[in-house]
Amino acid sequence: MTPVNFGIDLGTTNSLIAKYENGNLVIFKNPIGHKETLASVVAFRNDRILVGDKAREYLLKDAVNVFGSFKRRMGTDERFYVVNIDENITPIELSAYVLKELKQFVHTGEKPQAAVITIPASFDTMQSNATKQAGKQAGFQEVFLLQEPIAASLAYFNNKQESDDHNGHWLVYDLGGGTFDIALVKIADGEMKVIDHEGNNFLGGVDFDLMILEQLVVPEIVAQTGIQDFEEQLTTAYGKYEKLYYQLLYKAEELKKELSGQAYAELDFAATIEGKEYDFLITITQEQFNQVIAKRVQETITMLQAVLDRNHLTTADIKQLVLVGGSTFIPYVQEQLTAYSGITINKNIDPTTAVAVGAAYYAANKYYESSANASDEGVVNVDELLEDLEQEVNLEMKASELEIILSYSKMSKEQEEVLLLKVNGDYLNYRYRITRKDGGYDTGFIKLRSKFTEFLPLLPGVNNEFSLRIFDEEHNEMKSLMQEISIVQGQYNISGQPLPRDICIEVDDKENNTTKLELVFEKNSVLPLKKTLYREISKTISKGSEEKIIINILEGDRYARPLSNLTIGCIEISGKDLKSDLVKGSDIELQLLMSDDRELSTEVFLVMTQQEFKNVFSIAAKQVSLIRLKEQFEDLEVEIRRTIKSFNYEDNDVWAMQANQLLEDLLDHKKDLYKLKDNDKSDKKYVIAEAVHRTAQAYDKIGGNERLEYLHAEYLSAKEYVELQLPMADYEKDKMVTKFQQILNGESQLLRTRNPSILLKTIERLNQLAWDILYNTNSYLMVRYEQIKSSDASYFKNYGAAQSLFKMADKALENEKFFEFRQHVYNLTHFLKQEQGIQRSTDFKGTGIG
Amino acid sequence: MEQIIQIINQISEINQKLIQENVLPKFERILNRLFSIFEEEGYICTMPLGEKYNDARTDCTANVVGKEGKNMIITQVIKPIIYKKANGTITLLQKGIVMVENI
């Protein structure tokens, strides 16, 4: 025997499916729109069948083809005539459509073969059998029915403490979107039974929305406009205020939700009424709302009382009051129920899913004989197994007779892409359905034809994934015919040329006193391209000063150093161009546009001064900023010198020689560069820029991958050391953890860089952090102190002053004043003579863009 | 996540209001910046105003104004469509609430 596990709330307005297995409860969500509920509505549109929320949209507009609330007609011989298909359809068939759609929610790959389906307490035998039949039509091998109040009670039951005594009378108060039901449940020794019920099929949340509109909003509009018959005009079908009516109805529903959590809410809308424009701001209090719905809520309490009276019970006899349905979220409903019954309402279960949850709990303890499994006695139900197998084989046979040929472009620049479908074989009575995986597109079930097209809407800049599925006349999916369709929007297309290299902008890297590249357009993106970047100004520029913001747009590899890339656009905005001072931290907006023929246009907007600078660059003309060039030159020189030093230290003669040669080449241009003036008209700066560019590229290539790998290893070892030491720090640990995290944040980019300089600078930062950690660790400080103390007097700049610090440090140590001791060790390090390394100028100017 | 959606909805409403009042150009930069920040966080917000509509569009909940026709267009957006992009996949977070008319 197999547990059923699946529970279905087949509601009048909405339906849900849930599963309970091994203590795990799952309420499945609609893959289209990711909602837990499915509107119980079926629409037979011109060529397609829609089930759910989309179908509901046409309920009023296309009443002859769209059907909802058919649950009320279950068990009757009523048939709905569908104009579009010229056929009659039964409530059972409509319910089966909903159940089949719910089966699609199950994303776990399981194929539910049995389910517990809930029915209202009022359902008679005919109605119950009809529901069972709908379940069978939907492909369930076995269907168990459960009354909704019992399901809700079970959900509540399972949420309570084991020790609680459940025996007694329970009331299940179900106020949903459109219907109201009250049921009296008797629980005795674990057995639950609905002993009486009462209901109103036209009382629910939708009525409350309408009441807000009619009784609170319309009078305000009438008062402001003076149009007495406005309500009549507003509610006239296809009238002139139809759009406003839908808008207000939606806003009324939102307002109702807001009023569940706050004392008042505002309804804000603009409308043109009788040719005059109005701006409405209507404030509605919770009290006003309560007054409006009071009468309808009282009706529910009257029905509750009637049920109790009929059964000779009083509210004191009621053990629990279980709430079901979204409208029970309304505080006034809960207050009135509490005031009337004196029962404190338990809010532990979600009233919108309670029935489905209870059905799933019940299903977990309900067993059926699956045709796929042997029974408890080890006997296989051969008939059922054969029947099931036959169905599978039939489906596969049918599928093998069909051939679906798809034709579409896998890459597109358009907003929609045409899909051509050719079907070979006997396709009559089969349907297809195409859905987009993000949930924004669903064709519904459409009849197959021999040859046809579908226009698939594409989301911009992403891989749009669609599924094409084929169904037989009973909506059983023929799984072997399923096809996935992937269309990348915005990349590679015959009509648009791809970008050959990355386009980046140079921004400041203040941590390392250098600049870095930030990607604007990725290599292979299809032209034309447009992007707006938002950055902060990283230095203050006074009005009238010579200081500049430099916007360098480069083409090349985003992981390389800026200097190795080709500058294709350069904008310099100096203090002389400014209307007022530009303060550090103020915003800058950069809009870059690259046309089909790779012409670069930029728009720079300085938010603080409200100035706009527009430029157009031709890719053929080189762009060089002299200030940046000088700084880049200096940066490169310092770096090569440092590298030579480290190569020498590592006895890496070959690399050291190569670096020395590059340094010499670079220095050949130094004199000329520093002689150049801003207004130089010659092409010298281009010549020098070219030389610096070439040297930078050659320098990055020294040692090739071997050097990069070596630096990666060095980075990882420095990281490991910090990781090891950090937990031992006694002071400023949080600050150092944050700093470490900041370094690690850039790790993925760092390990992809081809720029040794970035790696070197990060290693340097890690090493610096490691020193900071040591100087904040008592055990290290003690060792270091002993080293300093035992050093020869010649190692000190001022040995006398150091000696008095020794005394103070010894005293602090003796009294275990470690924090004070740390300060003395810090001070002592300043008295030590240290080697002076090669120092780069700290007057880093950069681009001015952070 | 729910709160971010609420914020995006409110900003979209401000956007609509500014269009109504004909003062959008004064605030356009700020709004574009806000939407750009949301996009960096993976929230893609679209206002489908003027776009074609048919019943396969499950990215919107539509209110059909007037009679249905062959050329249905979105003529009013009450709530924008919001997608979430994460790890290369995109998911519909909020359906747009729209009015559609046959134009």
Q: What is the ipTM of this complex?
A: 0.86
pLDDT at A840: 43
Shortest CA distance to A848 belongs to which of A520, A567, A533, A541? A541
**Residue with the two structure tokens 């950690």:** A773
pLDDT at A387: 67
Residues A262 and A326 in one domain: yes
Beta strand ranges found along A437-559 (DSSP E): 445-447, 451-457, 463-471, 483-489, 502-509, 514-521, 529-536, 548-556
**Highest mean pLDDT pick, A154-168, A247-261, A373-387, A611-625:** A247-261
pLDDT at A15: 95
A697 occurs within a structural domain: no
Q: Quick one: average pLDDT of A414-418?
A: 89
**Residue A111's pLDDT band (cuts 50, 70, 90):** confident
Q: pLDDT tens, A136-150?
A: 999 898 999 999 999
Beta strands A483-489 and A463-471 are antiparallel
Residue type, A501: R
Average pLDDT over all residues of chain A: 86
Q: pLDDT tens, A160-198?
A: 655 567 788 989 999 988 789 999 999 887 788 899 998
A414 occurs within a structural domain: yes
Identify the weakest region by mean pLDDT among A94-108, A552-566, A757-771, A803-817.
A552-566
Q: Which residues from chain B sit within 8 angstroms of residue A251, using beta carbons?
A: 78
Q: Do B58 and A607 touch (CB under 8 A)?
A: no
Q: Do B65 and A589 touch (CB under 8 A)?
A: no
The domain that holds A557 is classified in CATH as 2.60.34.10
Residues 27-46 of A with CB under 8 A from B: 32-34, 43, 45
Structural domain span for residue A340:
163-347
A377 occurs within a structural domain: no
Q: pLDDT tens, A708-766?
A: 888 899 999 999 999 999 999 999 899 999 999 988 887 877 787 777 877 888 898 89
Q: Report the distance separating Cα B1 and Cα A423, nearest Å.
A: 44
Instruction: Please tell me which residue of chain A has the smallest CA distance to B32.
Output: A532
A764 occurs within a structural domain: no
A352, pLDDT greater than 50: yes
Q: pLDDT tens, A1-48?
A: 788 889 999 998 899 999 998 888 899 998 887 789 999 999 998 888
Structural domains of chain A, count: 5
Residues A314 and A170 in one domain: yes
Q: Report the distance separating Cα A425 and Cα A404, nearest Å.
A: 9
Which one has a higher pLDDT value, A411 or A814? A814
Domain ranges of chain B: 2-102
**Residue A834's pLDDT band (cuts 50, 70, 90):** low
A839, pLDDT greater than 80: no
pLDDT at A64: 87
Beta strand ranges found along A510-599 (DSSP E): 514-521, 529-536, 548-556, 566-574, 587-594
User: Is A250 in the B-facing interface, judged by CB distances under 8 Å?
Assistant: yes
Q: Do B33 and A61 touch (CB under 8 A)?
A: no
Residues A457 and A417 in one domain: yes
Give which of B22, B60, B68, B92 to mutate to test A binding, by max A Cβ within 10 Å: B92
CB A412 within 8 A of CB A487: yes
CB A675 within 8 A of CB A734: no
Tokens of A687: 């010549």
User: Is B66 in the A-facing interface, judged by CB distances under 8 Å?
Assistant: yes
Which residues lie below 8 Å from residue A423, measured CB to CB, with a gap of 6+? Answer: A402, A403, A404, A405, A448, A449, A450, A451
Instruction: Please tell me which residue of chain A has the smallest CA distance to B83.
Output: A438
The domain that holds A147 is classified in CATH as 3.30.420.40
pLDDT at A77: 82
Phi, psi angle pair for A474, to nearest 5°:
-100, 15
**Highest mean pLDDT pick, A213-227, A231-245, A473-487:** A213-227
Q: Quick one: average pLDDT of A76-85?
A: 86
Domain boundary among A600, A623, A646: A623
Beta strands B43-46 and B81-86 are antiparallel
User: Is B36 in the A-facing interface, judged by CB distances under 8 Å?
Assistant: yes
Residues A145 and A204 in one domain: no
A36 occurs within a structural domain: yes
pLDDT at A838: 37
Q: pLDDT tens, A639-684?
A: 889 889 888 888 888 889 999 999 998 898 888 888 888 777 777 8
Q: Report the distance separating Cα A429 and Cα A421, nearest Å.
A: 17
> pTM for the complete prediction?
0.71
Q: Which residues from chain B sit within 8 angstroms of residue A534, using beta carbons?
A: 33, 36-37
Q: Quick one: average pLDDT of A296-308?
A: 94
Q: Report the distance separating Cα A604 and Cα A591, nearest Å.
A: 6
Q: Which long-range contacts (CB under 8 A, 24 or more apart) does A460-463 make?
A: A460/A415, A460/A489, A460/A490, A461/A489, A461/A490, A462/A488, A462/A489, A462/A490, A462/B85, A462/B90, A463/A487, A463/A488, A463/A489, A463/B88
pLDDT at A766: 92
A335, pLDDT greater than 90: yes
Q: How many CB pairs under 8 A join A and B?
A: 91
R_g (Cα) of chain A, nearest Å: 38
Give which of A54, A280, A468, A748 to mutate to test B binding, by max B Cβ within 10 Å: A54
A531 occurs within a structural domain: yes
